[in-house]
């Protein structure tokens, strides 16, 4: 679509766009905020390059899209508890979020949006993959769509593969909350509350099984869905630079932080925005 106040450059036909001509350290008009939100709904992932923001400015920008939501397992910054550090240091081998997932789908009301602001990036590597879950749903056969429409996924925080990506940061700034305290059941096919489109809503990090089924019965179905929902034609690969600020829609997109920069440092500030109950 045409935008009156933005320059929008798609990254791929499926997902992602760069937004040009906007400085986020300034007060944004309601018209501009509305177009940014529309660009996000159109492209699922948007990135602003070369932004120079204080934490106050970053938070102010985020609040124009919804209320920030604290992450359950990590303390935020001392003066800004809604902002937490996502990092991998030079001596570490495992990165935070290094598997396909939708953020904290084990919550009753998972985040609507996630914002990630790059403070330090490796010289090469550390990209993030994103996958369009509208397309993941729409490219399934009609009988399979109908089959999935009656299922609900049991999402847990304690999947060992996901827990492993949090260990280093919890050691630095953990809240003390246990992973087995958080579990939520959500529809496998959710309807986006703003666009009305249907999206596949399971992920390999947190969806353990289907409600009413055993893990063994669920496993082959989930394995197929996990393989299907990250087909290359549904995806984009986003490279970071210092000052990049990326926003994505957790209701219809998944992401995977690529762990290919051992011996280098990557430091981001993340904000999640409160979402609704998937339906």
Question: Which CATH number covers residue 216?
Answer: 3.60.130.10
Percent of the chain past pLDDT 70, that is, above it, reads 100
| Angstrom distance (rounded) from CA 221 to CA 277 | 24
Q: Do 115 and 48 form a contact (C-beta atoms < 8 A)?
A: no
Q: Which two tokens stand for residue 168?
A: 């280093």
Q: Do 236 and 85 form a contact (C-beta atoms < 8 A)?
A: no
216: pLDDT strictly greater than 80: yes
State the pLDDT confidence band at 164, using cuts at 50, 70 and 90.
Answer: confident
20: pLDDT strictly greater than 90: yes
138 lies in some domain: yes
| Angstrom distance (rounded) from CA 99 to CA 63 | 28
Instruction: Give the per-residue pLDDT at 102.
Output: 97
231: pLDDT strictly greater than 90: yes
49: pLDDT strictly greater than 80: yes
CA distances from residue 85 to 105, 253, 279 in whole angstroms, order as listed: 19, 22, 30
pLDDT tens profile 133-156: 999 999 999 999 999 999 999 999
Strand pairing class (245-249; 183-187) = unpaired
51 lies in some domain: yes
Residue 197 appears among annotated catalytic residues:
no
| Angstrom distance (rounded) from CA 261 to CA 264 | 6
Which conformational region is residue 50 in: left (phi greater than 0), alpha (psi within -120 to 50 degrees), or beta? Answer: left
258 lies in some domain: yes
119 lies in some domain: yes
pLDDT tens profile 98-107: 999 999 999 9
Phi, psi (degrees; rounded to nearest 5) at 32: -70, -40
264 lies in some domain: yes
1: pLDDT strictly greater than 80: no
Q: Do 190 and 37 form a contact (C-beta atoms < 8 A)?
A: no
Check 84, 103, 206, 251 and give the catalytic one: 103
Any idea which of 53-57, 149-153, 168-172, 258-262 has the lowest mean pLDDT?
168-172
179 lies in some domain: yes
If you average pLDDT over every residue of the chain, what do you get? 96
Instruction: Give the per-residue pLDDT at 189.
Output: 98
Q: DSSP letter at 264? A: S
1 lies in some domain: no
What is the rounded end-to-end Cα distance, in angstroms, of the chain? 28
More confident residue, 159 or 17: 17
Residue 255 appears among annotated catalytic residues:
yes
176: pLDDT strictly greater than 90: no
Check 186, 255, 266, 269 and give the catalytic one: 255
Percent of the chain past pLDDT 90, that is, above it, reads 89
Number of domains in the chain: 1
The closest alpha carbon to 119, from 55, 33, 24, belongs to 55
Q: Which two tokens stand for residue 241?
A: 């630079």
Check 101, 186, 206, 266 and give the catalytic one: 101
Residue 103 appears among annotated catalytic residues:
yes
112 lies in some domain: yes
Q: Do 114 and 252 form a contact (C-beta atoms < 8 A)?
A: no
Q: Do 206 and 159 form a contact (C-beta atoms < 8 A)?
A: yes
pLDDT tens profile 107-133: 999 999 999 999 999 999 999 999 999
Per the structure, the complete domain to which residue 199 belongs is given by 7-273
Instruction: Give the per-residue pLDDT at 2.
Output: 81
Residue 5 appears among annotated catalytic residues:
no
């Amino acid at each position: 679509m045409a935008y009156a106040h933005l320059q929008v450059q798609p990254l791929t036909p499926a997902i992602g766009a760069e937004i040009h001509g906007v400085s986020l350290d300034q007060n944004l008009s309601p018209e501009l905020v509305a177009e940014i939100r529309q660009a996000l709904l159109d492209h699922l992932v948007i990135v602003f390059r070369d932004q120079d923001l204080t934490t106050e400015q970053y938070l102010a920008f985020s609040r124009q899209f919804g209320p920030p939501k604290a992450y359950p397992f990590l303390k935020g910054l001392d003066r800004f508890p809604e902002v937490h550090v996502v990092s991998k240091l030079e001596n570490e081998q495992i990165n935070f979020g290094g598997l396909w997932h939708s953020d904290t789908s084990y919550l009753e009301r998972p985040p609507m949006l996630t914002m990630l602001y790059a403070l330090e990036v490796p010289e090469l590597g550390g990209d993030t993959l994103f996958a369009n879950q509208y397309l993941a749903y729409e490219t399934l056969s009609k009988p399979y769509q109908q089959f999935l429409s009656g299922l609900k996924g049991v999402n847990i925080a304690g999947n060992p593969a996901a827990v492993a990506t949090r260990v280093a940061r919890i050691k630095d700034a953990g809240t003390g909350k246990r992973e087995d305290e958080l579990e939520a059941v959500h529809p496998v096919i959710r309807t986006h509350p703003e666009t009305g489109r249907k999206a596949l809503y399971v992920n390999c990090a947190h969806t353990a099984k289907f409600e009413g089924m055993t893990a063994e019965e669920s496993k082959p179905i989930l394995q197929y869905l996990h393989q299907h929902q990250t087909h290359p034609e549904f995806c984009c690969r986003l490279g970071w630079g210092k000052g990049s600020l990326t926003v994505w829609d957790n209701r219809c997109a998944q992401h995977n932080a690529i762990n290919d920069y051992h011996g280098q440092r990557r430091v981001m500030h993340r904000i999640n925005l409160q979402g609704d109950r998937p339906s």
